[in-house]
Structure 1
Amino acid sequence: MIREVIVVEGKMDVAAVRRAVEADCIVTDGFRLRSRTVRDIRAAYEARGIIVLTDPDTVGERIRARLTEMFPRAKHAFIPAEDATNPSDGDVGVEQARPDAVRTALAVVHTPMERPAEEFSMRDLIRCGLTGAPDASARRAQIGRRLGLGFANAKTFLMRLNTYGITRAAFQSAVEELI
């Protein structure tokens, strides 16, 4: 059983998580975040901790950002979009993920640092072809998968590298695996 409570967007996401692991979940019901839901999340955050596991899409990222503002020490797990996409209709979400993809995401959770390091800069991303190159988006997706950071645009990816305390060695190893 996972100690922390997993925060997901919808009821079908709860079903996907429970197919993969034994865990308690709280549903945000999308971006609404009713006051009752926020109280429930706060209680879980204070008592057991929470893991934010939102869909790898724009709405999921907005929900994640909002939850991060409210719960700055929450842990975060990311399922890569390609592992959370239904091939028959293109729907993207936690509910589409296979159990092994959910387990993999929950095995590599990240907690934001109180004072993010400035280990990486945009220069690092440019040097490694993670921005400003024709295949930069695909390369970031691959590195995000290896480091458990999910997919993000260059600015968000840089913020995640620094906020989640990714080491230079781990980053370099992930980059070398691309080559």
Structure 2
Amino acid sequence: MIKEVLIVEGRADEARIRASNIEADMIRTDGFNLRPETIEQIRHAYEKRGIIILTDPDRAGELIRTYLSKRFPEAKHAFVPRDEAVANDDLGIEQASPEAIRRALAKTRCATFLPVEEFTMHDLWRHDLNGSEDAAKRRAFLGSLLGIGYGNAKQFLRRLNHYGVSRREWDKAVARLDEE
């Protein structure tokens, strides 16, 4: 059983996680319709057990993640890569395979209060993660390897520095990216 409470968007996400044989308590946000009682329920879970935010890898999911991250700065984050969360012309956790969900939860990260500015935009440029034709694709692949999800260059850099990615993890992931 996962110690922390998973924060998911909807009933279908919750069902998919349960069908993936993952034992966890969950709270649904019901999309961005965060009612005061839902926020209070999340706050209680956050204070007692901790929370892991697992939202869809789309714009709405990122808005929910950002909103909750500001309210609950020590929340952990799990990201299912976009290409692993697509099926039936839909994008979301409910479309992800059980393996993709388990991998995302295994790579759970916590934002740090005092982010280390280990990485700079120069790192992204040097590895064609910004300003190149396939930069978005390369960031998506690297974000999947590192467990920080997809983001535009600015978001990606922020996640590298705020989610505790080490230079050693980076070097290993970039080497694998270059092999692909």
| TM-score normalised by length of structure 2 | 0.97
Query: Alpha-carbon deviation of 1:169?
Result: 1.1
Query: Alpha-carbon deviation of 1:25?
Result: 0.4
Instruction: Give structure 1 regions of 4+ aligned residues with deviation exceeding 3 angstroms.
Output: none
Unaligned stretches of 5+ residues in structure 1 = none
Note the 1:80-95 alignment, pairs <5 A: 80-86=81-87, 89-95=88-94
Q: Percent identity?
A: 53
Give the equivalent residue in structure 1 for 2:142.
143
C-alpha distance in 2, partners of 1:92/1:81? 7
User: SS where residue 106 of structure 1 aligns?
Assistant: helix
Q: Does 1:100 align with 2:93?
A: no
Give the equivalent residue in structure 2 for 1:5.
5
User: SS where residue 90 of structure 2 aligns?
Assistant: coil
Give the root-mean-square deviation of aligned CA atoms. 0.6
Give the equivalent residue in structure 1 for 2:42.
41
Give the equivalent residue in structure 2 for 1:118.
117
C-alpha distance in 2, partners of 1:18/1:51? 15
C-alpha distance in 2, partners of 1:30/1:143? 27
User: SS where residue 126 of structure 1 aligns?
Assistant: helix
Give the equivalent residue in structure 2 for 1:73.
74
Query: Alpha-carbon deviation of 1:17?
Result: 1.1
Q: Does 1:17 align with 2:17?
A: yes
Unaligned stretches of 5+ residues in structure 2 = none
C-alpha distance in 2, partners of 1:114/1:172? 24
Query: Alpha-carbon deviation of 1:19?
Result: 1.5
Query: Alpha-carbon deviation of 1:178?
Result: 1.6
Aligned pairs, how many? 177
Query: Alpha-carbon deviation of 1:6?
Result: 0.1
Query: Alpha-carbon deviation of 1:122?
Result: 0.5
Query: Alpha-carbon deviation of 1:159?
Result: 0.3
